[in-house]
Amino acid sequence: MLHALSFDVEEYFQVANLRPSFCEASWGEVPSRLDVGMEAILGALERNGARATFFFLGWIADRHPAWVERCLEAGHEVASHGWRHAFLQTLGQEGLDEDMAKAEAALLAAGAPKPRGFRASTFTLTRDTWWAMDVIAKRGYSYDSSVHPIQHPAYGIPDFEPGISNVETAEGDLTEFPVSTWRALGRNWPVGGGGYFRMLPGALTRAAVRGLERRGAPACLYLHPWEFDPGQPRVKAGPSAGFRHYLNLHKTLPRLERLLQEFQFGTMEEVLGLALPR
């Protein structure tokens, strides 16, 4: 079974956890660490004959168009993570529309086709920001992957039905492919990536993917280039945010390699059956 692997392409200094140290106006001044993570990821995918979806921030595509090109050349999907990594509740409906338009222009300028998939910053698509689905559909996207069906203080829709589903919007239908969760003890547990991927034992992630496979449900995993960069500068963050950001960075690559050896991974649009013939 083909599972979906995705990467949210952003710099370590654009992560919500470290936002207090890096305001948006400072981003252009901070040295980029993108190459370290992107080289590691593209290398691992190539070694294992796997494909993935890269949700680029428009800000990144604008400054590093060569990475968009390299992803496309290697047969990966390039999708949109918005322009400036702002939370949906901060952007509002019109702000999201503008942010997405700016990101699309940067992706197109970097040589990518019009993106068909979208992922909001920090999974901020919740019941409170559900209006975003209308914006995403109106802008002509085929699918969204911004819902995390878990209980979390900052995001998530804990009662969202895990797995691929159809969302009816005022602007037409949209496919939602939420990040994978595992149902146990009456609730959904995060097994799909990010901090949880580094926190939980690798065997647990693999068991979850195997479990989903057995039920005929493709997994949707996500990681970030900065999670493959143990040498990134250490900046002051609150105890909990710092713990989550820096935990087990050296384990991300071997864990990903193991997953790629054990399971078959492709792009989001391949798994959703939306991929155009190559």
- Cβ-closest residue to Zn ion? 8
CB of residue 122 to Zn ion, shortest distance in Å? 6
Beta pairing class for 220-223 and 172-176: unpaired
CB of residue 161 to Zn ion, shortest distance in Å? 24
- Segment 138-167, which members bind Zn ion (CB under 5 A)? none
* Owner of token pair 């999670």: 227
Question: CB under 5 A: which stretch of 6-14, 58-66, 162-170, 270-278 binds Zn ion?
Answer: 6-14
Closest C-alpha among 33, 31, 28, 45 to residue 9? 33
How would you class 53 by CB atoms within 10 Å of its CB: exposed for 0-12, middle for 13-18, buried for 19 or more? buried
What would you report as the CA-atom Rg of the chain, rounded to the nearest whole angstrom? 17
CB of residue 15 to Zn ion, shortest distance in Å? 7
The Cα 165–Cα 155 span in angstroms is: 19
- Using the rule CB under 5 A, is 227 a contact of Zn ion? no
The Cα 1–Cα 218 span in angstroms is: 7
Residues touching Zn ion, count (CB under 5 A) = 2
Which x/- pattern over 9-28 shows residues binding Zn ion (rule: CB under 5 A)? -x------------------
Contact 250, 230 (CB under 8 A): yes
CB of residue 8 to Zn ion, shortest distance in Å? 4
Residue from the set 4, 5, 7, 8 that interacts with Zn ion by CB under 5 A = 8
- Give residues in contact with Zn ion (CB under 5 A): 8, 10
